[in-house]
């Protein structure tokens, strides 16, 4: 069997993470020993939360401004640390996100003059802050 189409995989069983490489080699990691070290546990939590914030802007789309990215990460942080501890954004909220390029394209399709579309975009962004 060739390794061209084979993918590496992970399996987690009773605290042991096993990595199965494409070439057939295997590596096992006893996660329990790492998790019972308070400093490692703290750093894993920090890393996981930071990664969740970074992941929250993965699907925001090309053309998203830094303001849009920061607003989305801030929303994620507020949801995570709020009383509900909500991990994922409701799908209807995610569906509302649109990039400036997408907005301008839709406006052009609808025959909205470019200057008016730019003004509308700026007003919408201001209202979301």
User: In angstroms, rounded to a whole number, what is the distance separating the alpha carbons of residues 50 and 41?
Assistant: 14
H or E stretch at 52? helix 38-55
Give the start-to-end residue ranges of the domains of the chain.
7-36, 48-119
User: In angstroms, rounded to a whole number, what is the distance separating the alpha carbons of residues 35 and 104?
Assistant: 49
User: In angstroms, rounded to a whole number, what is the distance separating the alpha carbons of residues 48 and 41?
Assistant: 10
pTM of the predicted protein model? 0.51
- 10-residue averages of pLDDT along the chain (129 residues): 75 94 95 87 92 87 84 88 73 58 85 86 69
Q: Is 6 helix (H, G, I), strand (E, B) or coil?
A: coil
């Amino acid at each position: 069997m060739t390794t061209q189409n084979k993918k590496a995989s992970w399996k987690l069983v009773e605290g042991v993470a096993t990595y199965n490489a494409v070439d057939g080699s295997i590596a096992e990691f006893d996660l329990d020993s790492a998790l019972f070290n308070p400093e490692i546990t703290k750093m894993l939590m920090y890393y996981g939360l930071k990664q969740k914030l970074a992941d929250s802007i993965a699907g925001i789309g090309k053309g998203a401004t830094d303001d849009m990215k920061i607003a989305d990460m801030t929303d994620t942080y507020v949801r995570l640390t709020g009383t509900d501890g909500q991990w994922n954004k409701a799908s209807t909220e995610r569906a509302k996100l649109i990039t400036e390029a997408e907005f301008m394209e839709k406006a052009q399709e609808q025959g909205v003059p470019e200057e008016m579309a730019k003004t509308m975009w700026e007003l919408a962004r201001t209202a979301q802050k």
